[in-house]
Amino acid sequence: MIQIIPAIDIIDGKCVRLTQGDYNQKKEYHSNPVEVAKMFEDAGIKRLHLVDLDGAKQKHIVNHQVLKNITSATKLDIDFGGGLQSDEDLKIAFDAGAKQITAGSIAVKNPEKVQGWLMQFGKHRIILGADAKDGMVAVHGWQETSNLSIQQLMNQFLPFGISYSICTDVAKDGLLQGPSFDLYKQLSKEFPQINWIASGGVAEFADLEKLNDMNIYAVIVGKAFYEGRISLKQLSQFNA
């Protein structure tokens, strides 16, 4: 059964969503992320994807207090990402209660650093952020596109035991037009040893069912929930 992971994206301590990673297309949904997290937990959801969008832009952790507030108030397993660039950033995130961290831009810019994290913390605590823009990896809050393909990025980390990867198709994110099913099908076939976490484009409950039928490990749901297209009750069906 696919795991459903709701997303909370943070700017200035508030719960927001961007469209295609564009900071100029920001919509605020809630001023208190802790209340949103509690709502997910009360519905029986076990996990949360927490993104520090200020951190992604500033290239270092910013909203760690929000993380700490949520881990103090709930028992959700949180994966935290956005701007994690240094050993100190990781220490702050783990000390604040993150169960896992997502290494995105740093995995492209400094693969040796993330390989070291895998060796130090283990494969279950490090998620590789492999965000795709026209097949290439996008970095720094999707404001830059690297010269690496998703496949090249994965191959750099397989020897170090990477087991989890979040893959967002930037072209789909926030548009409510459906996920990149073909991309996830291809990646699952090429890298069956990876627990793929689909992200971006989920528009309706049928999208979750289709990803479940494809045996995708997990899916992140953001805008579709906040815009009322998928209910809490529907999300919780997969976590029964």
pLDDT tens-place string over residues 35-55: 999 999 999 999 999 999 999
Residue 214 scores a pLDDT above 80? yes
Q: Choose, from 9, 79, 89, 169, the residue flagged as catalytic.
A: 9
Q: How confident is the model at residue 14 (pLDDT cuts 50, 70, 90)?
A: very high
Q: What are phi and psi of 151, to 5 degrees?
A: -65, -45
pLDDT in tens, 62-117: 999 999 999 999 999 999 999 899 999 999 999 999 999 999 889 999 999 999 99
pTM here is: 0.94
Mean model confidence pLDDT for the chain: 92
**DSSP strands (E only) in 159-217:** 164-168, 195-199
pLDDT in tens, 147-163: 899 999 999 999 999 99
* Residue 153: per-residue pLDDT: 95
Catalytic: 131? yes
| Of 83 and 214, more confident | 214
Distance of CA 206 to the CA centre of its chain: 21
Could you tell me whether strands 3-11 and 144-149 are parallel, antiparallel, or unpaired per DSSP bridges? unpaired
- Phi-psi domain of 26 (left: phi exceeds 0; alpha: psi -120 through 50; beta: other): beta
Q: Can you list the domains of the chain with their CATH numbers?
A: 3-237 (3.20.20.70)
Catalytic: 9? yes
Residue 132 scores a pLDDT above 90? no
Distance of CA 208 to the CA centre of its chain: 16
Q: Tell me 237's DSSP state.
A: H
Per-position DSSP letters for 33-94, written without gaps between them: HHHHHHHHHHTT--EEEEEEHHHHHHTS---HHHHHHHHHH---EEEEESS--SHHHHHHHH
User: Cα(46)–Cα(4) distance, rounded to whole angstroms?
Assistant: 8
Q: Choose, from 52, 79, 131, 173, the residue flagged as catalytic.
A: 131
Do 101 and 84 contact (CB within 8 A), yes or no?
yes
Residue 141 scores a pLDDT above 70? no
Q: Which amino acid is at 116?
A: G
| Of 70 and 170, more confident | 70
